[in-house]
Amino acid sequence: MVAERTQWIRLLATGGLLAAIVVSGRGSVGPANDSDTLAAACEITPPRDAAGLERCLALNPRDIELMLDLGLIYERTAELDRAEILYRRALSIDPKDGDVHVRLGRLLLHHHGDRSAAANEARTALRLQPRSQRAMDLLSRAEREARP
């Protein structure tokens, strides 16, 4: 009963916050309004295309989730240098993000063939996330490919 009430309170608070964002976005006019509205939209429902994510990242340059989403698109479209730049940028903001270390390591292994750097990224990820299957898989691949 208390848990249900807490969930309803959170739901109502979230709805109120969204309503406040919408109302405040309609109240002002000019370029600040457009960027504020876009920034709020980026927070609530980030776009799924590269151009939209790039716009959101320009407004929120330290948002690692946006960087990861955009990096994945760059990987899928074979813009691997751009993905690598984003992953390194994300690590400059949060060097303790094990998922980013895995992504960068995977990219270094497959794009540059740098098994040593990939293994180092995997080891770093494992220090941060000791049982990460993705990090263990990356380390295994990097070590396996390093053997003659």
**pLDDT (average), residues 97-102:** 97
Residue 23 in tokens:
């109302």
Cβ–Cβ under 8 Å, residues 67 and 57: yes
Residue 113 has pLDDT above 70, yes or no: yes
**pLDDT tens per residue across span 66-94:** 999 999 999 999 999 999 999 999 999 99
User: What distance in Å separates the CA atoms of residue 128 and residue 138, rounded to the nearest whole number?
Assistant: 15
The set of long-range contacts for 127-131, using a CB threshold of 8 Å and a minimum separation of 24, is 128/96, 128/97, 128/98, 128/101, 129/98, 129/99
Q: Decide: pTM greater than 0.75.
A: no
Determine the pLDDT at residue 43. 83
Q: Distance of CA 6 to CAs 9, 14, 97, Å?
A: 5, 12, 31
**pLDDT tens per residue across span 12-68:** 444 443 344 433 443 344 445 666 777 778 888 889 999 999 999 999 999 999 999
Judged on CB neighbours under 10 Å (0-12, 13-18, 19+), 71 is buried
User: What distance in Å separates the CA atoms of residue 53 and residue 1, rounded to the nearest whole number?
Assistant: 41
Per the prediction, the chain carries an average pLDDT of: 82
Determine the pLDDT at residue 22. 39
| Domain map (residue ranges) of the chain | 1-45
Determine the pLDDT at residue 147. 59
Higher pLDDT, 28 or 108: 108
